Structure 1
Amino acid sequence: MANGSSSAGNHWLYQWIDEYEAKSVADVADRMKNGGAASRLQELAARGQNTEASDIPLSLTVVAGPGLEPEAPGMCADYECQQRNIDLNFGNVLHYFDYVTMEGPSARLYNSRINNASKKRDFELTEWFLGQDVLLLNHIRNIGLADYVVFSPKACYCRQHLKEKANDIGLAHLVDDEMVEDLAKLVSREGNVHLVQDGPRTWYASIRHPLFDGLAGSQIRQKTRPKKTEAAASLIRNWLSAAVIDAATARGLEAPLASFGSTSFFDRMQAANPEKMSIDDVGARIKIPALVGLSTKSLIELRNNEYHHFEKFRGALREAIAETIEKSESDSPDRVAEMVWQSKIRPAVADIERKIAASDTAFRFKLGAAVGVGSIAAAIGLVASLPWLIGVGTLAAATPLPQFFKATEDRQQIKSSDMYFLWKAKRAH
């Protein structure tokens, strides 16, 4: 478990969940029939809206960027989509960082929904969002992720704040309407916008283009089929809004930014702010195949169970990153991360695989020979009616001591490797 932050796992909505013992959508519907529960939700949302970021660890903390932050524009609010995001993506940053800071269900949005609700449909939508968010936060707790998350408010995504934050970090061009429209026309003209109707008056839009690798698709609700340029503009605008706000948050906290997938826009952000890249900047981008597909829950369990091996692995990784940054002439964290993987980590993991395979093969061969000898001894003893010989034969068959001690010694040497944690992670799949 990560250490160092008393704020880990503290979210304003957890207090409501615990007070009203809300575990499911049915629980939420039942509790919201009570006027007191609805009033308490409004009170906590108003208080949470005024909360300032505090007690965020200054090292080994990463900001959840586009594709990771559940509350970002364009992210699906349905629990099934949010659960997949949590289970598949958060482990990809916890192999290096101790904490992820994100906003989660927004107190600001809840406050706005409650205060502006006037129709029955408004209250129904608030209750639906609440049900999905209760499921999400309970899942984060159940898999142990809450111990690694510091919930902290981010700037809202309104036009005014978006422009202010973009100006602050020198990326005003990324929120320019004309540029967004031009990009939308470009990807539409090249045939990279895809629209599928997935329900009444509901369309799922996505972009497949190298410039926007990792950009999540989104649902569009309207009566008629949207034009591809409109759909592309909506997706690009949402993604860039999230990227700018998250980049500004990361800059304010002096922490690296992690996003699902990578795009050239992050390289542009780096170029617009040419400060010397940090070890953590590279750590946020490094991708390790042994961890791909390992669920966040499994990664957390592995970290907890193999804590010393994890710390040794991370120490070696930081050392390799620092050495590569020093020697490399590249100013791209993505390129440096790939260099670290190819030149440092990959060969070390392959060496462990080779040693373990060789050790296992030798041990199986010697064990087979020992069992054969033991079986013969047991058969002779049985024929000769010598019980003590049966005992010796069985012991010999079950415990080829020299071979066993040699295999154990080999494993101990392997376990001392800096990359043993990754080998364990691969076996956890």
Structure 2
Amino acid sequence: MEAKLTPGRHWLLDWVDEFDVTASEQIYDRIRFATPMERLYELCESQPKTLPSVRIPHRAHTIATGYGFEIGGRSACIHPNCRRVLINDNLTRLLQFFDHVVMEGPSPLTYSDEIAGISSDADFEYFSQTLAHDVEILLEMRVNGLADYTYFLNRPNMYCRHHMMIHADQLGIGRIADPDVANRTIDRILTEGVIRVNKLEDERWSTSVRHPLLKGLPVSATWQRKEKPTKREVVEEVVAGKIAVMVSDVGAAKALQIPLAATAQTGFFDGYFGETSAPTVDDVAYHISIPILKDIGITDLLQLKRELPEEFSSFRNSLAGAIREAIERTGSKAPAEIATQVEKNYLSPAFSDLLKSSKSSARSLYRKIGTGLTLGVTSAAFGALFSMPLVVAAGVAAAATPLPQLYKFFDEKRDFEMSDMYFLWRAATRPTGTH
């Protein structure tokens, strides 16, 4: 029987609500006692060990987050500041086209292992810090509204390396789990990268790997063993971990029948997939960068989508049409290349035309009014006038402007608001720090 996913529902947020945690700083007071820790472990252990059968209510415009888009810590730094950058740079880009994302978030498997492995004050301190970071970002997702657009779904990876290869073959991505390909990647990282292994207390080792394939971000880990890990062992673990995550992500997306946003900012799997099928609209859409929407931030973007649902739908439909045309012309190119063409040949000219139209209408109206306002003031006043009901605006301007001219202006205004790019124009003219 399929379970229905609910936006914003995550097992760690259930624990947060149960123990009335409203700020990450409260974590340290809660986990000093046995009951909250026992309950946290119980929640982790109760999560499905395999991908559950679920139903997504809005699958048509939903995308799964994979490597480079996941906030759970599998592919990014767990510090809240790095996660905020990921949200504003990557998740904002997804939600400028899609309505919902499916992500894992903090993993119950990781928490189960960490709780079971606490054997010293240092272990407890590290665990406390990790928990505080996770709670902080999840609470922020509630505040900025992102949680309402996120389906959390655990993605267990229970395969040994042999069965992971079989699973990858079944998914059509066997190349990324091929031992020869993996070994070549390992050798490259060992030759070109920086691998550090440092001794900690209690037979523990801190390791980090830095390489251009990881886009400058070091991959860190802690090893619990008596003998020092070799650099090759460290790199093998990094590569195996990233392959396992990718196989898990692809498997989840295919099972849910939704697209997967992955690797856009990593480069690690570039070339791993060999020959691929022609890109889809969704494949291209998540590569498109719209600085206007990125600049207003995730909170204002989501608020604007709530305020202007029809205008957003019109913008998305128009963008999807432009992507389809670009794919038909250059279907053999990579999605990122097609996205760049759409930005250059469609988005930029269309939005530029809309801005020119808005400024032209404003100048025309104010010339008829007879004012000597500068263009900057005119544009600001035009924005304010656009937000007024017709009867109010007429009352303000009728004394200086014949009503037929004013009615013509508002006819043009209605045409302007029906433009496919009107949603972007509203984003561009939205006051900063609105919410």
**Interval of TM-score (by shorter of Structure 1 and Structure 2):** 0.7 to 0.9
Q: CA offset at residue 105 of structure 1?
A: 0.9
Gaps of 5+ in 1: 372-393
Q: 1:134-166 deviations in whole A, cap 9, x for unaligned?
A: 111111111111111111111327653643443
Asked if 1:295 corresponds to 2:297, the answer is yes
Matched residues, number? 393
* Cα 1:53–1:140 shift into 2, 3 Å: farther
Call closer, same or farther: CA 1:280–1:396 in 2, change over 3 Å: closer
> Which one-letter code corresponds to 1:357 in the other structure?
K
The answer as to 2:126 corresponding to 1:131 is: no
Question: 1:13-52 maps to which residues of 2 (within 5 A)?
Answer: 13-50=12-49, 52=52
Q: Secondary structure at the match of 1:100?
A: strand
Which residue number in structure 2 is paired with residue 424 of structure 1? Answer: 426
Contact 1:88–1:296 under 8 Å retained in 2: no
Give the superposition deviation at 1:314: 1.1
- 2:380 alignment partner in structure 1: none
Cα distance change on mapping 1:238 and 1:291 into 2, 3 Å: farther
User: AA paired with 1:362?
Assistant: S
2:248 equivalent in structure 1: 245
Report which stretch shifted further, 44-53 or 408-417.
Answer: 44-53
Trace 1:2-401 onto structure 2 (pairs within 5 A). Answer: 7-50=6-49, 52-56=52-56, 57-156=58-157, 159-160=160-161, 162-176=164-178, 179-183=181-185, 185-186=187-188, 193=193, 206-208=210-212, 212=213, 216-219=217-220, 238-259=241-262, 260-261=264-265, 263=267, 265=269, 268-269=272-273, 271-272=275-276, 274=277, 276-330=278-332, 332-369=334-371, 399-401=400-402
Check whether the contact 1:205–1:220 (CA below 8 A) recurs between aligned residues: no
Change (3 A) 1:11 1:329: closer
Q: CA deviation digits over 1:200-239, x for unaligned, max 9? A: 998876444xxx48574444679xxx99999877765554
CA contact (8 A) 2:157 2:244 kept: no
Q: Which entry has the higher C-alpha Rg, 1 or 2? A: 1
Q: Deviations over 1:344-374 (max 9, x none)?
A: 3332212112211222233343344489xxx
Work out whether residues 183 and 233 of structure 1, in 8 Å CA contact, stay in contact via their aligned partners in 2: no
Change (3 A) 1:368 1:18: same
C-alpha deviation, 1:172, in angstroms: 3.6
Distance 1:396 1:422 in 2: 27
The change in CA–CA distance for 1:270 and 1:254 in structure 2 (over 3 A counts) is farther
Q: Structure 2-normalised TM-score?
A: 0.76
1:303 to partner: Cα distance: 0.8
Verify the 8 A CA contact 1:257 1:284 in the aligned structure 2. no
Q: Residues 427 and 228 from structure 1, CA distance in 2 versus in 1: closer, same or farther, beyond 3 angstroms?
A: farther
Distance 1:334 1:364 in 2: 43
1:370-409, CA deviations, whole angstroms, 9 ceiling, x for partnerless residues? Answer: 89xxxxxxxxxxxxxxxxxxxxxx9779753545444433
Structure 1 residue 253, shift from structure 2 partner: 2.2
Q: Is the 8 A contact 2:65 2:102 kept in 1?
A: yes
Counterpart AA for 2:54: S
Determine helix, strand or coil for the equivalent of 2:296. coil
Q: Residue 275 of structure 2 aligns to which amino acid in structure 1?
A: A
- In structure 1, the partner of 2:412 is 410
> Which whole-Å CA distance do the structure 2 matches of 1:348 and 1:269 have between them?
35
Deviations 1:18-53 (A, max 9, x none): 111112233111111222212211221111244725
Q: Which stretch shows the higher mean deviation, 39-48 or 283-292?
A: 283-292
Structure 2 spans left out of the alignment, 5+ residues: 224-228, 374-394
- 8 Å Cα contact 1:256-1:280 kept in structure 2: yes
Deviates more, 1:259-268 or 1:294-303: 259-268
Deviation at 1:416, TM superposition (A): 0.6
Q: Which moved more, 1:401-410 or 1:89-98?
A: 401-410
Output the amino acid matched with 1:269.
F
Separation in 1, partners of 2:119, 2:352: 62
Distance verdict in 2 for CA 1:30–1:396, change over 3 Å: closer
Tell me how far apart the structure 1 counterparts of residues 369 and 343 of structure 2 sit (CA, whole Å).
Answer: 37
Alpha-carbon spacing, 1:202–1:6, altered in 2? closer, same or farther (3 Å): closer
Instruction: Go from structure 1 to structure 2 and tell me whether the alpha carbon gap of 1:396 and 1:65 turns closer, same or farther (over 3 Å shift).
Output: closer
- Contact conserved, 1:53 with 1:153, CA < 8 A, in 2? no
* Root-mean-square deviation over aligned CA pairs: 3.7
Distance 1:26 1:15, change over 3 A: same
**CA distance in 2: counterparts of 1:91 and 1:337, whole angstroms:** 16
CA 1:194/1:92 → structure 2, altered by over 3 Å: closer, same or farther?
A: farther
2:67–2:75 contact (8 Å) kept in structure 1: no
Q: CA offset at residue 334 of structure 1?
A: 2.7
Q: Secondary structure at the match of 1:293?
A: helix
State the SS of the aligned residue for 1:63.
strand
Larger deviation: 289-298 or 324-333? Answer: 324-333
Using the aligned pairs only, state the percent identity: 27
Q: Tell me the distance in 2 between the aligned counterparts of 1:229 and 1:420.
A: 54
Cα separation, partners in 2 of 1:422 and 1:187, compared to 1, 3 Å? farther
Indicate if the aligned counterparts of 1:23 and 1:135 stay in contact, CA closer than 8 A.
no
Q: Cα distance 1:362–1:351, how it changes in 2: closer, same or farther (>3 A)?
A: same
